[in-house]
């Protein structure tokens, strides 16, 4: 009888040992699971600057070619949002601007605002450049270019690319660029294209 009981205890101990090893192995597997990769959104706005809508244009940008490149992680959360708009803070270096021979990469955070309206989806970017320059780019896209996911995190607009039509007045609808330097403010129209893509970030060990 004692022999049978001993065998039963031995069997139970062996079962517990095997189960423990399995659980430890599963725990180790969980530890090495790699988190899903995030994506970086790249928005490229390029075309021709002008005409002058207000101001004296001290930088002489009227008629020059211009390009604005924006990098935004899709993991960003808005700093402010409403039912139809979202404001994001982009880190230093996330914005590159080229206007004629004048170009810079941001050395401080920039602000990106998306407004979803019935007439257009509007992207407004405000960035600081050298010598006290502050530039605001307003890009007017087709309505419903973004879905409501843009109010939660940066995401792509569709279709891409899109044609941009220059605003006809400083306060009117359309795409435009405003800049302030040496206390002088100028607003110019902007015509060209806007495109975007999302690329997967590299997975680090």
Model confidence at 174: pLDDT above 50: yes
Which residue, 161, 180, 167, is CA-closest to 140?
Answer: 167
pLDDT digits (tens, 9 = 90+) for 12-26: 444 434 434 443 344
Comparison of pLDDT for 39 and 21, the residue scoring more:
39
pLDDT of residue 84: 98
Model confidence at 204: pLDDT above 80: no
Composition of the chain by helix, strand, coil, percent to 5 = 20, 45, 35
pLDDT of residue 202: 61
Q: Which residue carries 């101990």 as its tokens?
A: 13
Contacts of 139 (CB under 8 A, 6+ apart): 45, 122, 123, 124, 125, 164, 175, 190, 194
pLDDT band at 38 (very low <50, low <70, confident <90, very high): confident
Contacts of 168 (CB under 8 A, 6+ apart): 53, 174, 189
pLDDT band at 72 (very low <50, low <70, confident <90, very high): very high
pLDDT of residue 95: 98
Please give the average per-residue pLDDT across 48-62, as a whole number: 97
Inter-residue contact 87 to 78 (CB < 8 Å) = yes
Comparison of pLDDT for 24 and 79, the residue scoring more:
79
Cα end-to-end distance, the chain, whole Å: 57
User: Which secondary-structure segment (H or E) carries 24?
Assistant: helix 2-31
Residue 23 tokens read as 């659980």
pLDDT digits (tens, 9 = 90+) for 98-148: 998 889 999 999 999 999 999 999 999 999 999 999 999 999 999 999 999
State the Cα–Cα distance between residues 136 and 176, nearest whole angstrom.
8
pLDDT of residue 203: 54
| pTM for this prediction | 0.81
Q: Within 13 Å, how many C-alpha atoms sit on residue 199's CB side?
A: 6
């Amino acid at each position: 009888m004692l022999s049978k009981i001993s065998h039963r205890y031995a069997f139970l101990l062996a079962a517990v040992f095997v189960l423990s090893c399995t659980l430890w192995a599963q725990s180790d597997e969980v530890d090495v699971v790699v988190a899903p990769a995030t994506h970086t959104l790249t928005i490229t706005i390029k075309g021709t600057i002008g005409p002058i809508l207000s101001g004296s244009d001290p930088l002489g940008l009227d008629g020059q070619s211009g390009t604005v490149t924006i990098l935004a992680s899709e993991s960003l959360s808005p700093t402010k949002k409403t039912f139809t708009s979202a404001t994001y803070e982009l880190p230093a270096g996330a914005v590159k601007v080229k206007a004629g021979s004048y170009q810079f990469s941001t050395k401080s955070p920039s602000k990106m605002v998306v407004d979803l309206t019935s007439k257009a989806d509007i992207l407004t970017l405000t960035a600081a450049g050298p010598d006290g320059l502050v530039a605001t780019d307003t890009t007017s896209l087709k309505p419903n270019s973004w879905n409501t996911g843009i109010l939660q995190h940066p995401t792509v607009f569709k279709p891409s690319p899109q044609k941009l039509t220059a605003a006809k007045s400083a306060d009117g609808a359309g795409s435009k660029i405003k800049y302030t330097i040496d206390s002088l403010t100028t607003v110019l129209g902007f015509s060209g294209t806007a495109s975007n893509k999302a690329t997967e970030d590299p997975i680090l060990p």
